[in-house]
Amino acid sequence: MGRAYGYSRCSTSAGDWAIQLDALARAGVDDRDVYREKASGVNRDRTELRRVLDLLRPDDRLYVYALDRLARSQLHLLQIVEEIEKKGAKLVSLRESIDTSTAIGRFFTGILGSLAAMERELILERTKAGVALARQRQVRFGRPPKLSPPLIRQVLLAHDDPATTVPETCRVLGISRSSYYSALRAGRLQDKELVVKAA
């Protein structure tokens, strides 16, 4: 029998955190094995999540109160589930009654993979459509004088997609690699500012 770990994420509400911790305790997770993260949903720096994922061994279980406490998107959730499965561990989400060790849980994982693939295609489709529209309007491409919020958002979405490469994103958006990484840094800085404001 493996070990039971818990992961809890909260942005501002202490009440929400208490609900999560109580549910994890009732599921049998020792409070000492619960990893608590104070971060907004858009924050990409999940130190505690990384710590608990690195600890997982075969037959271990990672309990979360709800899937939206674990991941920021379907793509991100699929990445986490795949990492857990590769380690021989399982994911249990209490609110949705999902356990990836069961047939229904494995079915959910398959559906999640399909949804993530659809989300990936939609991201690329929206990006390409935006570029095409901009070209029709004779918008100037290349290094922008200022990183616009839409450009930063598109770079972050592409960065979250493991199937999208940096060269492909630069080609589709019509930007240089240096602009790509500048937009990525700007997006991460915005995430940190959101966390500070929420605290």
Could you list the active site residues?
11
Task: Give me the residues paired with residue 116 across strands.
Answer: none
Provide the total of helices (H) and of strands (E) in the chain, helices listed first: 8, 5
Residue pair 29/4 in contact (Cβ under 8 Å)? The answer is yes
Q: 10 vs 30, 66, 68, 190, CA distance in Å?
A: 19, 11, 10, 18
Q: Residue 71: CB partners within 8 Å, gap ≥ 6?
A: 77, 79, 80
